[in-house]
């Protein structure tokens, strides 16, 4: 077999099924006259199709880590390798393109565009890429995710005409419609009541289990983290512990809470 020359910024580390890798990440923020060290040396690997939860208290560095993993921000030092591309070696335009092609993001506060209806919000990744979202493959994919997320009949509603749970389903549809290599979710249930939060967690798990979607979920909630195959416990800018739960249908939080208690967390 002849080996292909690597493109600039590309490394050949995909043979072990790793789709996302962080190597010794640090991140400092300048706050007035002092530096806040949000991340203090984080390394991790995520396998293709894996569901990983980053769990830890408020202020521990979870959102910062997720933003670096998805190329929304750059580390102070260290590297992120996303699907074979070293993000930190890419220019801004290339990094933006990689992020659009490879990642889908879901946030606590939905981040929908208020003046666009459900269809237009979900269609946004295609619109940004200059594709007509009412035709061909784009239209088929949009119909698929609207169906999967039970939004059929809501296409012409604006976000303010939807419940919080429905709004988050729209945000999830928008994140999944481009079939990203990796879905990154930051406290996606943090602004939802218990029942709607449970629905979103079920949808995340289903996309992973049935569609093979790779997911990194940030949460401070054990019920959310208990959906994952593996939980990385974040504390004070570092990964403190790792709990392997494995793929399973019973995803109640009890066993995870017991393991966290054993670790003194």
Ligand X SMILES: Nc1ncnc2c1ncn2[C@@H]1O[C@H](COP(=O)(O)OP(=O)(O)O)[C@@H](O)[C@H]1O
- 188 in Cβ contact with 217 (< 8 Å): yes
Assigned token pair, 132: 């007509």
**36 touches which of ligand X, Mg ion, none (CB within 5 to 8 A by kind)?**
ligand X
When asked if residue 67 is in the footprint of Mg ion (CB under 5 A), the reply is no
Contact partner at residue 61 from Mg ion, ligand X, none, CB < 5 to 8 Å by partner kind:
ligand X
Of 4, 12, 15, 58, the one binding ligand X by CB under 6 A: 58
Backbone angles phi, psi at 12, to 5 degrees: -105, 75
Q: Least distance (Å) from Mg ion to the CB of residue 62? A: 5
Specify the residue for token string 């996303």: 82
Q: Which stretch binds Mg ion (CB under 5 A): 45-53, 62-70, 73-81, 246-254?
A: 62-70
Please select the residue that binds ligand X; options are 63, 103, 189, 214, rule is CB under 6 A. 63
The rounded distance, in Å, linking the Cα atoms of 65 and 81 is 13
Does residue 63 bind Mg ion (CB under 5 A)? yes
Q: Quote the least distance from Cβ 60 to ligand X, whole Å.
A: 4
Residue 33 as a binder of ligand X (CB under 6 A): the answer is no
Nearest distance in Å: CB 38, ligand X = 3
Q: How far is the CB of 176 from Mg ion (least distance, A)?
A: 22
What radius of gyration do the chain's Cα atoms show? 19
**Least CB distance from residue 64 to ligand X, whole Å?**
3
- Residues 232 and 44: beta-carbon distance below 8 Å: yes
Beta strand segments in 10-169, E: 18-31, 34-47, 51-55, 77-82, 85-86, 103-106
Strands 77-82 and 51-55, sheet pairing? unpaired
59 lies in the site for ligand X, by CB under 6 A: yes
Task: Identify whether the C-beta of residue 54 lies closer than 8 Å to the C-beta of residue 219.
Answer: yes
Return the residues of window 189-248 that contact Mg ion according to CB under 5 A: none
Characterise 20 by phi-psi region: left (phi > 0), alpha (psi -120 to 50), beta (else).
Answer: beta
With respect to ligand X, which residue has the nearer C-beta, 107 or 119? Answer: 107
Pick one of Mg ion, ligand X, none as the site partner of residue 78 (Cβ within 5 to 8 A by kind): none
For 159, residues 6+ apart whose C-beta sits below 8 A from its C-beta are 110, 112, 113, 114, 118, 121, 167, 170
Contacts to Mg ion by CB under 5 A? 63
Contacts to ligand X by CB under 6 A? 29, 31, 36, 38, 56, 58-64
């Amino acid at each position: 077999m002849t080996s292909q020359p690597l493109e600039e910024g590309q490394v050949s580390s995909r043979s072990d099924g790793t789709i996302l890798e962080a190597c010794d990440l640090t991140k400092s923020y300048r706050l007035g006259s002092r530096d806040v060290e949000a991340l203090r040396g984080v390394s991790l690997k995520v396998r293709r199709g894996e569901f990983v939860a980053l769990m830890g208290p408020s202020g521990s560095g979870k959102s910062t880590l997720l933003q670096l993993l998805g190329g929304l921000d750059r580390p102070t030092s260290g590297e992120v390798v996303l699907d074979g591309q070293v993000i930190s070696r890419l220019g801004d335009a290339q990094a933006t393109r990689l992020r659009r092609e490879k990642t889908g993001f879901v946030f606590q506060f939905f981040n929908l565009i208020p003046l666009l209806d459900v269809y237009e919000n979900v269609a946004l990744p295609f619109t940004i890429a200059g594709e007509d979202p009412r035709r061909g493959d784009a239209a088929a994919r949009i119909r698929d995710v609207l169906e999967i997320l039970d939004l059929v009949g809501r296409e012409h509603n604006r976000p303010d005409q939807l419940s919080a749970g429905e709004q988050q389903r729209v945000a999830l549809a928008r994140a999944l419609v481009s079939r990203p290599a990796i879905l990154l979710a930051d406290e996606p249930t943090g602004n939802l009541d218990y029942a709607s939060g449970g629905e979103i967690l079920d949808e995340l798990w289903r996309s992973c289990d049935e569609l093979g979607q790779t997911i990194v979920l940030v949460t401070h909630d054990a019920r959310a983290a208990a959906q994952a195959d593996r939980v990385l416990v974040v504390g004070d800018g570092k990964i403190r512990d790792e709990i392997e739960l494995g793929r399973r249908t019973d995803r109640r939080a009890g066993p995870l809470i017991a393991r966290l208690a054993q670790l003194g967390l």
